[in-house]
Amino acid sequence: LAFSNEAFQAVFATDEAPILRGTRYEAFIRDIAGRGLLAGISAGDDIWIQEQLERHQHDSQTTFRFSDGRTFDLTERKTGDGGTVLVQTDATEMDRRDAARKTTEHRARVMIDAVFDGVITIDPDGIIETMNARAEEIFGYSAADTLGKTTGVLLAEGDLSPFLGAGGNAIHEVRGRRSDGTEFPLEVAINELEDTWSLHDRRSAERRVFIATLRDVSLAKELSVQLQQAQKMEAIGTLAGGIAH
């Protein structure tokens, strides 16, 4: 090492172990591992040390997660004279926000998978982006089978595009179609979500995302028909009884 500024020293060095001019990169890496600065890395972790030495041969970026919870990115860029410039960036807050986002998204997915109804998220073009476990059961598809396809794959006719933006209070009855081709009555309610609800990575620009709740009403329809038939037979029986008397 030919030079390291105060910020670099503050992160990787101590008063007892400063990073001195002339220190070899391998010695620098072994010293970091030996002092237990990094989470899960120890002096005897030769595999990690070798990985860092191999990265050092090329332009690279390595994330160092410290035992105290801090996170730093170390970017290496080769210079024209064969040297290397190391740039240290404090990524602690970004790393924490990313971890919090992933936790929130995981909890949201667990809750969505636990609900009784099928749930899918759709982009403005009617393309399926996510599908919960109940929707997989209803339609007989795995999520991987439907992602990137239009909602038309789930319906006997058309798709859900006409209902996007109609409001969550509106319930639409359509004909669903399972993976085996059988059709069934399906109730659909669609809401538009804020972009922060998206289970995908954030984009730099805002994007519209819709969530559709899907309910297989085959059994309800069947029970309704049976009830109507029973009431009809009861009425006929009552009428017949009256005539007999």
Query: pLDDT tens across 24-59, in order?
Result: 888 888 888 888 888 888 877 888 889 988 888 889
Question: What residues contact 67, with CB distance under 8 A and at least 6 apart?
Answer: 36, 37, 38, 39
Distance CA 209, CA 144 (A): 19
Q: Buried b vs exposed e over 130-164: b needs ≥16 C-beta within 10 Å?
A: bbbbbbbebbebeeeebeeebbeebbeeebbbebb
Q: What is the pLDDT of residue 205?
A: 54
Tell whether pTM > 0.85: no
Q: What is the pLDDT of residue 198?
A: 43
Query: Between the CA of residue 35 and those of 19, 29, 56, 87, what are the distances in Å?
Result: 13, 10, 20, 21
Question: What residues contact 81, with CB distance under 8 A and at least 6 apart?
Answer: none
Look up residue 202 and give its DSSP letter.
Answer: P
Query: Between the CA of residue 180 and those of 127, 184, 216, what are the distances in Å?
Result: 21, 12, 15
Question: What residues contact 13, with CB distance under 8 A and at least 6 apart?
Answer: 4, 19
Question: Can you list the residues of the chain whose pLDDT is less than 50?
Answer: 196-200, 202-204
Q: What is the pLDDT of residue 196?
A: 47
